């Protein structure tokens, strides 16, 4: 089936596909739309191939069902990780004193400020790797650059952050003393 025929078949069954996606997503319209979009992308990118062993509609509905199941599983794992994270954070916060919490908050704010002034590519790769737990190869793929380019931006971003952190001093009230210099506000 060529691309034109595939698009025509997808259009032909769109209403029914949406109804089936709604059923598979427990009547959650937003989730059904996301699932259907993912199914269309799978079909158009060749990740889900129609082999002709069943009718097109049967194949399409199977792909929708499987995609909805995968999405529900991903959401379940995401919720489970977030609950664990929230529990761990709650335990950590209850163990640390107010001064420690303030210190950590200042450090996070400082780091966000320092990252925000990095060049766009360096900022993107660092955020993808550190905040979204992607590998450098995955980050390169997301950014649409080669792995070598992503590595270069990653290393340069880390070096620039190190240089910026050397000029920063934060005093904390928990008795740690001054271990870094104060952050100059960066004006653009």
Residue 61: which domain range?
A: 3-76
Which pLDDT band holds residue 26 (cuts at 50, 70, 90)?
confident
Per-residue pLDDT for 177 more than 90?
no
- On the question of pLDDT at 180 being above 80, the answer is no
In this structure, the answer to whether residues 67 and 117 fall within a common structural domain is: no
pLDDT band at 98 (very low <50, low <70, confident <90, very high): low
Residue 18 lies in a domain: yes
Question: How do residues 99-119 score in pLDDT, each as one tens digit?
Answer: 777 777 888 888 888 888 889
124 vs 91, which has greater pLDDT? 124
The residue out of 25, 42, 76 marking a domain boundary is 76
Instruction: Tell me, yes or no, whether 81 lies in a domain.
Output: no
111 lies in the same domain as 164: yes
N residues, the chain: 188
Q: How many domains does the chain have?
A: 2
Q: What confidence tier does 175 reach under pLDDT thresholds 50, 70, 90?
A: very low
Distance CA 171, CA 180 (A): 7
3-state secondary structure of 63: helix
Give CA–CA dist 56/11, Å, rounded: 12
**Is there a single domain that holds both residue 174 and residue 102?**
yes
pLDDT in tens, 142-156: 888 899 999 999 999
With respect to residue 187, please indicate whether it lies within any of the assigned structural domains. no
- Grouping H, G, I as helix, E, B as strand and the rest as coil, residue 84 is helix
Structure tokens at 88: 């761990």
CATH number of the domain that residue 165 is part of: 1.10.10.10
Q: Are residues 65 and 103 in the same domain?
A: no
Neighbours of 39 (CB within 10 A): 24
Q: Convert the pLDDT of each residue in 52-65 to its tens digit.
A: 888 899 899 999 99
Tell me: do 69 and 12 sit in the same domain.
Answer: yes
Between helix 14-24 and helix 3-12 the angle, nearest 10°, is 70
More confident residue, 69 or 124: 69
Query: Does residue 21 lie in a domain region?
Result: yes
Q: Is residue 38 part of a domain?
A: yes
Answer yes or no: is 90 within a domain.
Answer: no
- Kindly provide the b/e burial profile for residues 148-185, where b requires at least 16 CB atoms within 10 angstroms of the residue's own CB: eebbebbebbbebbeebeeebeeebeeeeeeeeeebee
Please report the pLDDT score of residue 51 as a whole number. Answer: 85
* CATH code, 31: 1.10.1740
Q: What is the pLDDT of residue 94?
A: 61
């Amino acid at each position: 089936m060529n691309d034109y025929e595939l698009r025509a078949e997808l259009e032909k069954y769109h209403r029914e596909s949406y109804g089936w996606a709604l059923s598979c997503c427990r009547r959650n319209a937003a989730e059904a739309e996301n699932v259907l979009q993912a199914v269309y992308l799978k079909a158009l990118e060749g990740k889900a191939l129609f082999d002709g062993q069943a009718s097109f509609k049967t194949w399409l509905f199977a792909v929708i069902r499987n995609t909805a199941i995968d999405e529900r599983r991903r959401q379940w794992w995401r919720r489970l990780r977030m609950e664990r994270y929230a529990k761990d954070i709650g335990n950590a916060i209850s163990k640390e004193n107010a001064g420690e919490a303030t210190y950590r908050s200042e450090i996070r704010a400082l780091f966000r400020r320092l990252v925000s002034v990095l060049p766009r590519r360096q900022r993107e790769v660092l955020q993808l790797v550190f905040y979204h737990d992607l590998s450098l190869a995955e980050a390169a793929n997301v950014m649409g650059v080669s792995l070598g380019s992503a590595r270069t931006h990653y290393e340069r971003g880390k070096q620039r952050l190190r240089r910026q952190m050397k000029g920063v001093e934060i005093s904390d009230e928990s008795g740690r003393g001054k271990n870094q210099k104060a952050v100059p506000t960066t004006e653009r």
